[in-house]
């Protein structure tokens, strides 16, 4: 099969850090264009808008939409309506309903829609899923604490409504949780801490359960300086599991059983090519649904104003 002609839309941090290197190494794709108001990609045709790009380069078969979630829906509709396959950065949209709308349009147009969850492709995630499938789980603790000033300097969209605040990294934990737990859970209570000058939370504590009263709790915090934590810890009858470093490393009872270099974006692009070839979509909204539930059920606490 000849390579898929792909274009990138919204050239910013994640495009430079991950999309361009992953595409450069994948023979399934040929990157032929980019659309961004300010950013450009060297060596290909660049446009200021997705509309201009689609008009000028009909050979584009697929697009990766990498702008912030609040601005992704219109671009996705434009691409799907023009018969292009669409890769959505995470979170797939600003609301559940807009993504459902895109899913229906992709189906109608016979093209593939991919709601990507990069953390699900962290190296030790499948091993954690296999371990939990064979154990009786007593409780699960998710600790996702990082320094927003380090990871998201000057990103205003992240603090705006729809930017998700601390759920922007937190949804990565939720994408792993929803993949590795043997059965679905739901939120029973949550507290969201909003800086008094922002429209998105800086911290959240969340409790989940299910009909069997499984005890799952998450702590997300963007005020962490020093050591950063991206851990999922489970107590089980088969031992204590620690999935750490955002899913890169798995230890059981203190012994490392899985650790390898991360390949998240190369694997996302492999998956996208696979669904395009298979003529299907891959849109799992479970992580975004938990975020919506946290905003719906959570208590709001106002905390100290946040300034970059």
120 contacts ligand NAP (rule: CB under 6 A):
no
The span from the CA of 134 to the CA of 100, in Å, is: 33
Q: Which residue is nearest to ligand NAP (CB)?
A: 12
Q: Measured from the CB of residue 165, what is the shortest distance to ligand NAP in angstroms?
A: 11
Positions 149 through 178 that interact with ligand NAP (CB under 6 A) = 155, 157, 168
- Here the tokens at position 242 are 């620690």
Stretch that binds ligand NAP, among 60-68, 79-87, 209-217, 270-278 (CB under 6 A): 60-68
Among 8, 23, 36, 79, binds ligand NAP (CB under 6 A): 36
- b or e along 267-282 (b: 16 or more beta carbons within 10 Å of the residue's beta carbon)? bbbebbbebbeeeebb
CB 79 within 8 A of CB 172: no
**Helix boundaries (H) for 119-226:** 125-133, 148-151, 167-180
Quote the tokens at residue 186: 């739901």
Contact 179, 123 (CB under 8 A): no
Known catalytic membership, residue 13: no
Contact pick of 3, 5, 14, 217 for ligand NAP (by CB under 6 A): 14
CA–CA separation, 137 and 115 (whole Å): 29
50 or 242: whose CB is closer to ligand NAP?
50
The residue within the footprint of ligand NAP, chosen from 23, 32, 50, 66 (CB under 6 A), is 66
Query: Does position 68 bind ligand NAP by CB under 6 A?
Result: yes
Nearer to ligand NAP among residue 11 and residue 273 (C-beta) = 11
User: CB–CB of 114/272 below 8 Å?
Assistant: yes
- The verdict on 71 binding ligand NAP (CB under 6 A) reads yes
Catalytic residue (one of 90, 109, 213, 301)? 90
Q: Is 37 in the site for ligand NAP (CB under 6 A)?
A: yes
Q: Is 89 a binder of ligand NAP (CB under 6 A)?
A: yes
Exposure string over 229-264, b if 16+ CB within 10 A, otherwise e: bbbbebebeeeebbbbbbbbbbbbeeeeebeeebeb
Tokens of 1: 């099969």
For residue 123, give the 3-state DSSP assignment: coil
Beta carbon of residue 19, minimum distance to ligand NAP (angstroms, whole number): 9
Please report whether residue 84 would count as binding ligand NAP according to CB under 6 A.
no
Q: Which of 234, 288 has the CB closer to ligand NAP?
A: 288
298 contributes a contact to ligand NAP by CB under 6 A: no
> What amino acid positions are annotated as catalytic residues?
90
Which residues contact ligand NAP by CB under 6 A? 10-14, 36-39, 66-69, 71, 89-90, 118, 155, 157, 168
């Amino acid at each position: 099969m000849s390579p898929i002609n792909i274009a990138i839309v919204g050239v910013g941090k994640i495009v430079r850090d991950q999309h361009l290197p992953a595409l450069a190494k994948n023979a399934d794709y040929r990157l032929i264009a980019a659309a961004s108001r300010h950013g450009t990609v060297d060596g290909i045709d660049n446009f200021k808008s997705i509309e201009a790009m689609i008009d000028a380069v009909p050979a584009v078969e697929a697009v990766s939409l990498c702008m912030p979630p609040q601005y992704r829906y219109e671009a996705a509709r434009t691409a799907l309506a023009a018969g292009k396959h669409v890769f959505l950065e995470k979170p797939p949209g600003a609301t559940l309903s807009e993504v459902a709308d895109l899913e229906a349009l992709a189906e109608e147009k016979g093209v593939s829609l991919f709601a990507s969850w990069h953390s699900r492709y962290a190296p030790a995630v499948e091993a954690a899923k296999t371990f939990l499938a064979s154990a009786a789980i007593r409780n699960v603790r998710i600790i996702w604490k990082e320094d927003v000033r380090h990871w998201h300097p000057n990103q205003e969209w992240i603090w705006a409504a729809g930017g998700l605040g601390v759920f922007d990294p937190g949804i990565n934990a939720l994408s792993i949780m929803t993949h590795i737990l043997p059965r679905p859970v739901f939120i029973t209570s949550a507290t969201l801490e909003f800086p008094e000058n922002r429209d998105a939370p800086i911290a959240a504590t969340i409790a989940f359960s299910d009909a069997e009263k499984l005890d799952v709790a998450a702590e997300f915090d963007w005020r962490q300086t020093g050591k950063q934590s991206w851990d999922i810890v489970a107590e089980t009858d088969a031992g204590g599991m620690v999935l750490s470093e955002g899913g890169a490393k798995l230890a059981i009872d203190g012994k490392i059983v899985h650790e390898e270099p991360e390949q998240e974006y190369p694997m996302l692009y492999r998956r996208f090519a696979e669904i395009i070839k298979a003529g299907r979509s891959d849109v799992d909204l479970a992580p975004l649904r938990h975020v919506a539930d946290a905003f719906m059920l959570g208590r709001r606490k106002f905390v100290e104003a946040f300034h970059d």
